[in-house]
Structure 1
Amino acid sequence: MALFDNLIADIGSRFNLGSKAESLLRELLRFISDDPNGVAGYLDKFKAAGFGDQIASWLGRGAGPALSSSEVEEALGLSAISAIGRKLSLGTDLVGDAIGYVTPKLVGLLTPGGAIPTRLPASVAGFLGGAEHKIAQVHASPHPVGQKSFDWVFPLALILGLTGLAYFFHQPKEPAAVTEAAKETPAEPAPAPAPVETADPAAHEIAAALTALKPGFSGSELVAILNKYRINFATGSAEIPEGSKPLLLQAAGLIKQLPASSHVQIDGFTDSTGDPAANVVLSQHRADAVRDLLIGAGVKDKILTAKGHGNAEDKGSNRHDRRIEFSVQ
């Protein structure tokens, strides 16, 4: 829908989600609408997690920095993020980072003039694919405070009772043997969560290795896997290929799990063609591009350093051609 078109395009491009960007936004809106207090309840979760100051910049403006996946998890809970990830076959860290990025902007759209709405607009309810979802219960009651109307209870009970009797007397009876067999049939196991999707086939093996890292992994284990992958920059370009972005976003989620004292260096390299001085500048831009993507995914900027080396360390080898290497201190 028009209200969210720009936001969907933004997160789709930033997180390489493609058509899943719209689905992710729809699932987040459903999560908000399912809260008894709607937008207010959603914001209360972030207030309770210590983000009250940031919320003020979201209302009506959608301003403020993106939240990291771990910060979103602190506010919404891992189970909520994982549930959305399973529905969309996306990694939990990627979903958390996307929600952290979209939340300030989405709240800005839902709170025109800085006012928290009492109901989801009909147009937004249509985007969810159903009848209007209530966002909050703040309405003027037609009855005095503390008094409720129960005029509808008796007719409803009568209808439900008659429906139940009709169903009881007219439903077909299954043979007892079939019923018992059905009871003994074990339920199918739930499917395992899907790995992080990568558009670059060469990244599949690396993504699987990152997923297999055990809790408490070391920085050296992480970079050893990352350095097996080559970000294949185009000649003369510092633009990260779209196919490499999902893997870097997965790496961002893992970097955020390293000890707080860790420091990650991102080294950029070029091939041996071209002017050496220009190659140093180009390699710096490549390292900066990777650093910026990681920061955008929620990694704290103070633990990341980017440095360009040109082709100074090639020494006749193609090992460093147009690539990025990571190291952890």
Structure 2
Amino acid sequence: MSSIETLVDEVARATGLGSNSRRFIGVVASYIFKQPGGISGLVGRFEQASLGDIAKSWLSGSPSMRAIDSGQVRRALGENDLQELGEKSGVGAKTIAPLLATALPLVLRTITSGGAMPASLPANFAGLASAPPSRRKPFRLWRWLLPLLALLALAYCGWQSRRVLETPAPATPTSNLAATVSAPTLSFSNAGGKVDLKGTVATVAEKAGLLGAAAGAYGQKNVTANIGVDPGIPAASWLDPLKAMLAAPALKADGLKFDLKGDALTLDTSALPIDMRAEVSQLFQSRLGNVQIDGLYDKGIAALDNLKPGYGATDLAAALNRTSLTFDNNSAQLTTSSLSTIDRAATAILGAPASMKVEIVGHTDNTGDPALNQKLSEQRAQAVSTALVKKGVPASQLAARGVGADEPVADNSTEEGRAKNRRIAYAAY
């Protein structure tokens, strides 16, 4: 198979354009060489939008292609060019940006294969833009008239038979009908650098964006995907943060698996080393805060699970202090992704003697107004207490207070240090 046919096949699968991918590729390739300077000129437009490193990663010779999203494409190329490209390719202005985010890296990688930097449109791309768009077959009366007459004849025979035969009982619906998809889904597995994606999203644009991000992160040849499109389901709230996450080194971990359904995620890091399990879990918890996550590996959760029967206040506090919770930005609202940690903490507290008290202490970094930090630390501590009470812990067994930025455990002059200082701590007695 030629490089052009390979490209057509890859774009067709990644975007869902099918036979129209040939024309789409031709329009995109022609657009590249209409830029002043051709390929260098196009890369320059991305550089002006502070996206030059991403665009350069698409050229042959770069070890891996980085993903781009539709918003970044719009920023680099502008609405006028996108409008024109949408019209010429026949895909329309609404979907052109996400489709370009998927296809443009593949087109540039093919054009520059072997280190080539052609100054004009290569001959093997020249005829693609003139490929006619896929059309429906013209209407022909005879194609449906004969089947219609046959159906009418059968209906007449059936009517005659009902005059002499008893009407049969209505058929019972079969139990093996396919379940209706009611929410966006995604199944992910990474085995030896080969990524398999399965699921359903609401639009072609969502599909294109997801596959483009996966191709950029893992390489097109390393991604196998079976992503359906169902306009009847809601948009995936987790899609944009997940696409950004795919570029993180932690998500290259061999053996990582996860399943998303609606706003619930099941994470499987059991095949990963312990430190990597914690890093991946923390990444999901911080980036997908609006998703309920099962399967998080947290050193604190592991410590809570490993508490030995008869554990005392010291052991309980030590385990609780290894857990991590996250809140919405500048808010006392616990993220949904922290609720499984609250679950485990409540179970551990309920397993301790009823006379044991647990104090919850909120801490912040030193950024901003001290009075506001003090108030936020109090509110966050109280939010944790309230969440534990909802899980069955008696309110009389808990106390909550905030200390603002007064008790740092790390250097507030660095982001890493500030992140460590923003925490919930526990004391048990």
User: How would you bin the TM-score normalised by the shorter chain?
Assistant: 0.3 to 0.5
Q: Which has the higher helix share?
A: 1
Structure possessing the higher radius of gyration over alpha carbons: 2
Q: Which has the higher strand share?
A: 2
Higher RCO structure, 1 or 2 (CA under 8 Å, sep 6+): 1
